Structure 1
């Protein structure tokens, strides 16, 4: 490899020689490991922006078009009985993450007040479209959630599964309707390699950390981010 590099360098001008050396370095790094290849790519080409899944499917960038978004979370009764604040905790954190990315989001306090006034339940997204002046509704439906390892009370591992949907609010025959434009499944397990002992981290701290992680992962369906910000 070194001899080949020297032969090529001797026949090329300085600019072309630089490009070839860079490409050879990338090949060598790629051969020695994927992470090194990624690091080399960032070194020479910068930190690329990853287009979020919502924008790829709809061609809509919520942060650039300044569309107002309402976030709503739901869980089955079996989860609410164990984690009664889960819906609001996720709603608040996802809203915070979207706002940080300059997406206009309906105030969580107003959403919580409306839910309380309606017994904490809502029938369908059209009901939300009628009661809030927003352009899009993001519905996070968590079907499974836990942060304790099964049959191991001293071990912590977060697991969650659900569906993330988005609706565009439009006027249809004089009524505000929520039309489906996006849907994807969401699955999470953290940490994936091995659980955390309660001697290392308290259940309360771990639960907060895991909820923040879920909110961040779900938020990335709707805003673009740099590859260095990828969550593993």
Structure 2
């Protein structure tokens, strides 16, 4: 390594250290009851993580060895009429989220094909048996919207529903292991004007957000992650 590149690295590290110190000072002058040591620990070691609710409630984990998962989403016909394919889209986005975090998940296209071939299915456990998985995650949407209430020119994603996990046994039978109501809205701080973003782009943004909220029930996340979703 030549002396010039070494000087560059030292200069870069110095600037990073100064930036962190400046951020601490700014936060401490703007926040009441500031604890300098907490802020320093936050900047040096990163934000504290939050245990997935599923893990905390069941003492199990979707990332355990040999665990496989199938995800199926249901939306009433009214929602499917207003938002064509919303149940399939949410299943695909949620599957991708869990895959990103090390969960072995069944390809959502395979599950969709099975559902098309078996239109009379009525229990999530049937999907668990068909794909020989450890768990079935059933997401049932009750409400879903992409517009701010009483507005046609402001976007704000909203959803309510229930997430239920069924644990499968060796005989193909399933038992409800975990359930959690979800209430979601995005952006957190203020709605987005329809003139600023297209409908299709905002739809993708909200599906990404909603699938992450569902995913956080099953994977670790960090305090402060919502800062990027505030606006």
Judged with a 3 Å threshold, the aligned counterparts in structure 2 of structure 1 residues 46 and 89 are, in CA distance, closer, same or farther, namely same
- CA–CA distance in 2 between the matches of 1:141 and 1:202? 27
Aligned to 2:122: 123
What is aligned with 2:173? Answer: 177
Query: For residues 28-50 of structure 1, what are the alpha-carbon distances to aligned partners after superposition, in whole Å with 9 as ceiling and x for unaligned?
Result: 94993489876434135443332
Q: Is the 8 A contact 2:132 2:172 kept in 1?
A: no
| CA distance in structure 2 between the partners assigned to 1:95 and 1:33 by the alignment | 41
1:145 matched to which residue of 2?
144
Which structure 1 segments of 5+ residues have no match? 1-24
2:214 alignment counterpart: 218
Going from structure 1 to structure 2, the CA distance change for 1:115 and 1:36 (only over 3 Å counts) comes to: farther
Corresponding position of 1:165: 164
- Residue 112 in structure 1 maps to residue 108 in structure 2: no
Kept after mapping to 2: 8 A contact 1:66/1:103: no
State the alpha-carbon separation in 2 of the partners of residues 34 and 67 from structure 1: 45
Deviation (angstroms), 1:151: 3.1
Larger mean Cα displacement after TM superposition, 206-215 or 185-194: 185-194
1:9-88 to structure 2, matched below 5 A, reads: 29=28, 32-33=31-32, 39-88=39-88
Query: TM-score normalised to the size of structure 1?
Result: 0.78
Alignment counterpart, residue 190 of structure 1, candidates 186, 189, 206? 186
Select between 52-61 and 122-131 the one with higher mean Cα deviation. 122-131
Task: Report how far residue 73 of structure 1 moved.
Answer: 0.3
Shift in Å at residue 94 of structure 1? Answer: 0.6
**Cα distance in structure 2, aligned partners of 1:190 and 1:181:** 29
Deviation at 1:98, TM superposition (A): 0.6
Max Rg structure: 1
Gaps of 5+ in 2: 1-23
8 Å CA contact retained: 1:29, 1:40: no
What is the number of residues matched between the two proteins?
A: 203
1:101 aligns with 2:101: yes
Deviation track 1:110-146 (CA, whole Å, cap 9, x = no partner) reads 1011011123x63012322321210000011110001
TM-score w.r.t. structure 2 length?
0.79
Q: Cα distance, 1:191 vs. partner?
A: 1.9
Contact 2:164 2:178 in 1 (8 A): yes
Structure 1 residue matching 2:60: 3-state secondary structure: coil
Q: What is aligned with 1:209?
A: 205
1:114/1:202 CA distance change after superposition, 3 Å: same
2:154–2:194: 8 Å Cα contact kept in structure 1?
A: yes
